[in-house]
């Protein structure tokens, strides 16, 4: 079993005021500066999404398992973050502000960017500006956000989708992913719903396997 990550609650400057963030270092840190750091975006704030969402936590843990510190944060208007919900526009700006903090803190580290549901779309939009080394989107909320004009990021990109998702149907995500060129890697978890109830460990293992294959250890 993984040891708990070492967490640090911080308030980061954002475009609409302050952003509540949780910065976590891997339980067993590698010597020297990290090779990468992760930023993870949470699901829809108007439907209970926060940085403490279990899928967001799982993505952070997967990154940490590979030696990368992570930043989870609350979008504007959620928790201790100031401002009000901005239908995805301002939330992309929030994500970019958090990424900028990570790059200032770990200037030599690559960016691993991820998000779940609404946060998956925010991460995809932010990738166009941020230029991450990889992108991981879990059940990206394409049914509520138009992503047709969003450019496909140049980096390796994994989409994880539950086959039984009743919020973001798997067939819609599959059709969208297949229209992209080059197509991102798409992994469908049989029988899994939108929130991956009872499948969190399998989800984490899937994420870790992709990251290890994409960024093999020296």
Q: What is the pLDDT of residue 1?
A: 47
Q: What is the pLDDT of residue 29?
A: 54
* Assigned token pair, 149: 């004009």
38-69 pLDDT tens trace: 999 999 999 999 999 999 999 999 999 999 99
146-198 pLDDT tens trace: 999 999 999 999 999 999 999 999 999 999 999 999 999 999 999 999 999 99
- CATH fold of 6-214: Rossmann fold (3.40.50)
Q: What is the pLDDT of residue 32?
A: 74
Contacts of 25 (CB under 8 A, 6+ apart): 5, 6, 8, 64, 69
**Cβ atoms within 10 Å, residue 32:** 7
End-to-end CA distance of the chain: 24
Rounded mean pLDDT of 130-159?
96
Q: Are 95 and 74 in contact (CB under 8 A)?
A: no
Task: Delimit the domains of the chain by residue range.
Answer: 6-214
Q: What is the pTM of this model?
A: 0.95
Burial 157-191 (b: 16+ CB within 10 A, else e): bbbbbbeebebbbbeebeebbeebeeebebebbee
Q: Which whole-number Å values give the CA distances from 218 to 62, 63, 106, 112, in the listed order?
A: 18, 17, 20, 18
From the list 132, 106, 115, 205, the residue with the least C-alpha distance to 168 is 115
Rounded mean pLDDT of 89-118?
98
């Amino acid at each position: 079993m993984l040891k708990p990550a070492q967490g640090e609650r911080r308030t980061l400057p954002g475009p609409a005021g302050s952003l509540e963030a949780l910065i976590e270092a891997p339980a067993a840190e590698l010597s020297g500066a990290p090779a990468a750091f992760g930023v993870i975006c949470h699901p829809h704030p108007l439907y209970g999404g926060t940085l403490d969402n279990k899928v967001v936590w799982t993505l952070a843990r997967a990154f940490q398992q590979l030696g990368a510190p992570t930043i989870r944060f609350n979008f504007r208007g959620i928790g201790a973050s100031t401002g009000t919900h901005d239908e995805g526009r301002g939330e992309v700006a929030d994500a970019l502000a958090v990424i900028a903090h990570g790059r200032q803190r770990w200037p030599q580290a690559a960016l691993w960017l991820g998000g779940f549901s609404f946060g998956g779309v925010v991460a995809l939009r932010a990738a166009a500006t941020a230029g991450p080394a990889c992108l991981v989107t879990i059940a990206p909320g394409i049914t509520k956000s138009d992503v047709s004009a969003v450019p496909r990021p140049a980096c390796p990109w994994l989409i994880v989708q539950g086959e039984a998702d009743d919020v973001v149907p798997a067939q819609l995500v599959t059709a969208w992913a297949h229209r992209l060129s080059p197509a991102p890697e798409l992994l469908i978890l049989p029988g899994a719903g939108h929130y991956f109830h009872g499948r969190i460990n399998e989800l984490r293992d899937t994420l870790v396997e992709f990251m290890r294959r994409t960024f093999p250890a020296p």
